Structure formats: structure tokens, C-alpha cells
Amino acid sequence: MTDYLQALAFGVFPSPDAAHPRAVLELAEVAEVSGLDLLTVQDHPYQAAHLDAWTLLSVVAARTTTLRVALNVANLPLRPPVVLAKAVATLDLLSGGRVEFGLGAGAFWDAIAAAGGTRLTAGESVVALEEGIEVIRGVWHPEGSAAVRVAGHHHHVVGLHPGPPPAHAVEIWLGAYKPRMLRLTGRVADGWLPTMGYADPDALAGMNAVIDEAARAAGPDPASVRRLYNVMGRFGGPVSSSRLAGMPRDWAEQLARLALEEGMSTFILGTDDIRAVRRFGEEVAPLVRDLVDAERAGATTGPASQHAAGDSAEAPEVATATAYASGPVVIRTTPDDGTRLSDQAAWDESTRPRFPAVVGATSTLQQQAAPQHLIDVHDALRAELTQLRDVIAQVAAGQLEVGPARSVINRMTLRQNNWTLGAYCEQYCRVVTGHHTLEDRGVFPHLRGVAGASPVIDRLTEEHEVIADLLEHVDRALVALVAPASTSAGPSDVAPLQEVIDLLTDALLSHLSYEGRELFHPLALVGFQ
């Protein structure tokens, strides 16, 4: 029983289906809005039915703002390590440090040979992988470092100038199953990335032991090797020992056991089902974090807790569930302070319906995970709106031209590098739209079953439509602002954009406060769909 005490992370592993090229992009946006950390894709360049994995990840990184991306895993026999290293570093720089790197020795050797790769034996492929890792890390050294020199049997790179280094210390995760590959993982890798079905839960302990032994012999602390796991499953049906099944709580308990007993810490769900992605991010991941945090906290203060298995004899901790119930609350919505920037109004706020007050209602901390996630998403939107307004204000004041505004965006840690002002605004509008679409199609129909919620849901849906229209106005104002014929902008150029941004700000901040307050109790009662 091993818990390496690694931070938990959750991701998704969709198919790079060439027949539906935009499906992965839509899934990536839902994954990000749902709170997932990572999107990975398989890399089989010889597979005619697949999109090119690296090109696809580049577009995903450009369409998202917080989601990390990685190959799962890169096909080294068909991707020269120097080129791979350069590609990873470049995308990491352009995405603001959101790239990790899954790497494999290769498989399906008939297909690799048909695509022009060199057929290797199992032993040769492991040697080639170790040489490739040395080349890749050499290329990532800062410019001015000693030349890369790897005179290997399969990779011969001598005298190459290193660089550019990636934006952050990119981790190399190895897909490994056999003892020799597992030992290589322990010696030289930053992470281990197996797949359920090839390495089922009952096999993890033995494989981890091989990695740990190799890591100790080479010097690294075994706990420094991240343990990732590609998992498969289906919501509903009987609970299974070999794949995830049952309801979100069942999934969470299975994954919590894998974290606490097998040391796995990053769970990547293989699915093309957007609804499953949403449930994994919004329901399962928060539950897993709560279960693991509670068990780890119990381990530091006394005997191991049985909460994850549902055997605790103690009553669950409770807290006030609504913003208008009496007594303290564990989490709070952000109130509307009444400040307005525009002399126009997007709607009549006095006509908004209210959810019936539930004085003294209580919910467990577990139940509050759903409204807490909604609040977290809202807070992220508020923070980005503040950044957006600041950039536009500098342009309007003449402190920045539209072109130099790019450098401001580059310094924003939550944004991608090398984006123009227009692209920044466009991305923000898309994120808001994606959040509202997710609510309208998935969350709101589910919440209508709560008594008294339908009038509030109807009003929130209407406000989403108004905000969508305002976002369209922002787009049109941006087109005028960054038209090719204009190389600079002054206050008169920015005025139409400033007006619609002010109205959008008033509407969005008011809407987020209203939505957070009114949906707090329904979400605590029934969670997300």
C-alpha cells in the first residue's frame, strides 16, 4: 500500500478522429470549463484514420487557456528526437508553459516500417528510447550551453547547439509495462503513464515496485516519479474491479483507492463522450480530491480514516448550504456591489425571480463541491474580465497601441503568448460562451427538477442570450479596432469598443452574482448532471 502524496490531477484522452476533426476541439473546451487539468492524444502517424497528434495538440493549446496538453505517447521511431524536442519547447513557449511530454519506445512495428521507420527489436527500442531522452533533454538546455553530444547506436547527435529551452521544466512521462522499460522509467523519467487494460489495477503494485527499486538505485526519490493512469469506464452499471463503473461517487471511491493504495495521482479518462467529460471534471474530480485530502489529513493526525470506503461511524461535517440561510457558510458567492459603468442596462434587474429562501438548510461539505466549482469558474471569468479591461484602458489612454498591446498579453500568465489584443478578447468571449452553453445544455435541464428552480433557470437562460448578443457586439468592435488598414488606435478609435465592454462588464458581473446566489442551494441538493 503506497501513497506517494503527489498532488492530484485529472485529464481526458480523446480519439484524434480525422473523420470528425472539430470534435476534439469542442471536447477540449468542455474539459477546460469543467475544471480538468490536461488533454492528451495518442500518436500513431501511420494510422490513416487519425489526425496528426502534434498539430492537433497545437490547435487545442491555441483554443484553451489553462488546459495542459501532452502526447500519450509520442511515437519515437517516427519522430526524430531533435525535432520532437524543438516542437515541445516551441509549443510550451507559445502556450505559456502548458505542455508535458508522454514518450514511448514504439509498437506496431509492421506499421512503423511501412511508414518508413526502422524496425527494432524490443531490446533495441528501449536503448533507442534512452538515447532519445538524452538528446531531447540536451536540446532543452539553455542557449549557450555546451553542444549536444549523444553518440548512440540509434541516435547520433554530435555538435548541435541547444535551444530554445521550454517555458517550464517539461516532464517526460514514459508509457512502460515490461521490466526493462519500468526500470528505465525509474532511472530517467519524470513520470510513468500506463493504460488500464494493459496494466489493470491489480498489476500496479508490482510495476510500481520495479520503478521504485530502479529510482532508489539511480538516486531519485521514488515519490518524485509522477504516477499517471489512463483510465476507462462508463457511468452506470455495476461497479467493476478492472474499469470505472457506477455513479460519480463510485468512480471517486475507486480512484481515491488507486491514489491512496497504489500511488496513482493523475487520472486521464479515455473517452469521446462530452457528457462523460463534464461529469468527470465537475463531479468525480472534486469528490476524489475531497476523499484523498480527508484520508491524508487523517493519516497525519491519527488512525487512517475509513471515510473513502463509506464506513465512518461519525456524522459528516455539515455547513449552511445557502447564501441566505442563517449561520456561517463554508463557501460564499460574490455579491453584486451595484457599481455600473454604462448608462445603458442590459435588462431590468427588478424582474429577476428568486429561488425560495431555505433558512437553516444544511448540506455536507461534499455536497457543496458543485456550487463551489461554479463559484470557481465565475471567479476565473471575473479575473480575466479585469485583465481584458485593463489592456483596453491602456490602448484607449494612448499608453499602448494595438500592436504593442501584444507584449502585455504575453506577460499574462493565464493567457497564451504572442496574441494580439483582438485574439485575447476573442478567446475570452469564447470561454464565456462555452461556459453558458454548458449550463444551458447540461446543467439547467438537470436543475429544473428542484422545486422552485424553473423560474430562475428561465431567467438565467434569457440572460445568457443577452450576454451572447453583447459578445457579438464586442467581436464587431474589435474588427473595427484591429482592421489591417489601421496601425494604431487612439481614444476615438477605441470608444465603440469601450462602450460595449462597459455594458458587457455590467451585465456579466451582475449575472454571475445572481446565478451564483440563486443556484447555490439547487446545486448543493442535486449537483451537476
Q: Determine phi and psi for 268, rounding to 5 degrees.
A: -115, 115
Grid coordinates representing 41?
492524444
The pLDDT of residue 406: 39
Strand, coil or helix: 5: coil
Asked if 308 and 297 touch (Cβ cutoff 8 Å), the reply is no
CA distances from 436 to 26, 98, 323, 387, 442 (A): 14, 25, 22, 20, 10
- What is the pLDDT tens value at each position of the chain, 529 positions in all? 689 999 999 999 999 999 999 999 989 988 887 889 999 999 999 999 999 999 999 999 998 888 999 999 999 999 999 999 999 999 999 998 999 999 999 999 999 999 999 999 999 999 999 999 999 999 999 988 899 999 999 999 999 999 999 999 999 999 999 999 999 999 999 999 999 999 999 999 999 999 999 999 999 899 999 999 999 999 987 777 678 999 999 999 999 999 999 999 999 999 999 989 989 998 999 999 999 999 998 875 544 333 333 333 333 333 333 333 333 345 567 888 899 999 999 999 999 999 886 555 566 666 777 787 778 778 877 877 887 787 777 766 766 555 444 344 333 333 332 234 455 455 556 666 666 666 666 677 878 888 888 999 899 999 988 988 887 787 677 656 554 444 444 445 678 878 988 998 999 999 999 998 888 888 888 776 5
Collapsing DSSP states into helix, strand and coil, what is residue 159? strand
**CATH 3.20.20.30 is held by the domain 9-302:** yes
The answer to whether 46 touches 450, Cβ cutoff 8 Å, is: no
User: Minimal CA–CA distance to 228: which of 181, 286, 176?
Assistant: 176
**For the whole model, what pTM was predicted?**
0.63
Residue range(s) of every CATH 3.20.20.30 domain in the chain: 9-302
231 within 8 A of 219, measured Cβ to Cβ: no
Q: What pLDDT is attached to residue 346?
A: 94
Q: With residue 82 as reference, give the H or E element that holds it.
A: helix 81-94
Look at the block and give the residue holding cell 517539461: 170
Q: Is 160 helix (H, G, I), strand (E, B) or coil?
A: strand
Residue 459: which residues within 8 A CB-CB, separation 6 or more? 352, 353
The CATH number fitting domain 349-526, selected from 1.20.1440.230, 1.20.1250.20, 1.20.120.230, 1.25.40.80: 1.20.120.230
DSSP secondary structure string for all residues of 319-382:
EE-STTSSS-BSS-PPPP------SS-SS-GGG---PPP-TT-EEETTTTHHHHHHHHHHHHHH
**Res 43: pLDDT:** 97
Helix (H), strand (E) at residue 39: strand 38-41
d(CA 248, CA 246): 7
CATH 1.20.120.230 intervals, the chain: 349-526
Alpha-carbon span 283 to 446, nearest angstrom: 14
Neighbours of 115 (CB within 10 A): 15
